[in-house]
Amino acid sequence: MRGPHNILRLIRTLATFQRTGALPVILQQAEAPARLRLVAHLLAWPFTWLGLKGDPALPPVVRAITALGPAYIKFGQILSTRPDIVGGDLAMQLRYLQDRLPPFPTVLAKQQIAAELGPEAIDAFTDFSEPVAAASIAQVHSARLIDGREVAVKVLRPSIERAFRVDVDAFYTGARIVEALLPFSRRLRPMDVVRHFDGVVTGELDLRLEAAAAGEFAVNTSADEGFRVPAPIWNLSGRTLMTMDWVDGISLADTDALDAAGHDRTVLGARVLQLFLNHALRDGLFHADMHHGNLKVGPDGAIVAYDFGIMGRLDPYTRRVYAEILYGFIRRDYRRVAEVHFEAGYVPRDRDIDEFARALRVIGEPIFGMDATHISMARLLSYLFEVTERFGMRTRTELILLQRTMVVVEGVARSLDPHINIWQVARPVVEAYIRENVGPRAALRDLAQTARVLARFGPRLPELVEQRLIRDDAEPTVIVRTPSRLKPMAVGAAIALIGVAIGALI
């Protein structure tokens, strides 16, 4: 029964946009041709009665998104940071989705706390306020502990897991339909993308994981000037709630209040972008939901981050690839950018590297010829993915999350400083990473690490290689064996000596 239900959900999505009046707004903003607008309305009109009404007091698009549920709200939150895509008026409307959604009753929040931690847990709070912010998945209350410390208590919305499950299941169905009807899309792996989104959502619905991410993120960024992460309070946290230190601040969306408080929005815009790049490249752990509603400015001018349900991770190799791609574009060295794609295996080796480099130049040169206010790193990544698709690059889910976050972060930075030059701000961060992680010193460090790993497995290495050769060869192979006692000792000792020597050099 799930398949028909998901089809109905997808139909209801289109019908809801029609019924709330959001469909013509979106088609107009997308500058859709008249013929496409007519077809869209003809498809939606027979099902209008299936559409959700939503809150008539809200603007049409916000009304449709809030009616459709949390997954759609997440998408709307991202678009709220991109006035260059959806227009300034619509972007302002979509900001409603970030932290001003209708709250659920405080009594339900207290019941959830008691169910999670026990009835006595409520006694740990001397004060427990009405909701101070309500988002798609949870809402936040301010409270005070017995020791006088002020804290924030985040509580999941009742039945939110079931609501998300409905949306995600529908997305799976939509991905299957796309793959079946549009065979060329299979290389982009729509199902894998949905699985990745599913994993992210699953993690966000367990606040214990968010508390762990907040703790790790706080350690990584403890030395970052002008940045702060509230500490989680573990004994008052669980799967459906999380308690953290309270930090007063002004939302980055409230530019008038920032100006009135004397904060330099140009400095804040640059800091947001540089912090994100540092976290992604230096640490390999970045906040992947950095919209206005999750960022505030404290009284001391420091940026305070919240909501760590969606965190992105990049392994060391992917970080280097990403940095070299950005650095190559900054230097306009398109041949090197092409080589990085081939070396990383992102583009099949049977493609023409010179042709790929020319295609990259077509991307880069127009962007660098633009006025600073139009130079967009997010746009570059979008164009880059379009070109790599043509050259056979398969979708990489970790890069999709990185690109999505880059879109959000760039939107936040531009809302603070409309004249920001993204590349000028990013350059020192990328160059510092390249100096430290790409070059002879980095190569020696990698070699030393490899040698240390090999030294640990040295005694088993000949046996493993031998077994691999025997398994891979279809024809009988003559194996030359060394004496069993000398073989592991010699290899292990040699590799260990190499590791020690390189480690001493570093």
Q: Where in the sequence numbering do the catalytic residues fall? A: 289
How does DSSP classify residue 133? E
Write the CA distances from 243 to 21, 125, 150, 232, 237, integer angstroms. 40, 11, 10, 6, 6
Residue 22 token pair = 């959001």
Q: Return d(Cα 121, Cα 139) in angstroms, integer.
A: 18
**Which residues, listed in sequence order, are joined to residue 155 by a DSSP beta bridge?**
139, 241
CA-based nearest residue to 153, from 246, 243, 249:
243
> How many Å is the Cα radius of gyration of the chain?
26
Residue 70 token pair = 């949390």
**Which residues, listed in sequence order, are joined to residue 139 by a DSSP beta bridge?**
134, 155
Q: Return d(Cα 319, Cα 321) in angstroms, integer.
A: 5
Q: Return d(Cα 7, Cα 177) in angstroms, integer.
A: 10
| Helix 377-390 and helix 397-416, axial crossing angle in degrees, nearest 10 | 150
Q: Return d(Cα 44, Cα 57) in angstroms, integer.
A: 23
Quickly tell me which residue has 């060869």 as its tokens.
473
Contact criterion met (CB below 8 Å) for 292 and 251: yes
Instruction: Please report which residue ranges of 417-439 form alpha helices under DSSP H.
Output: 422-437
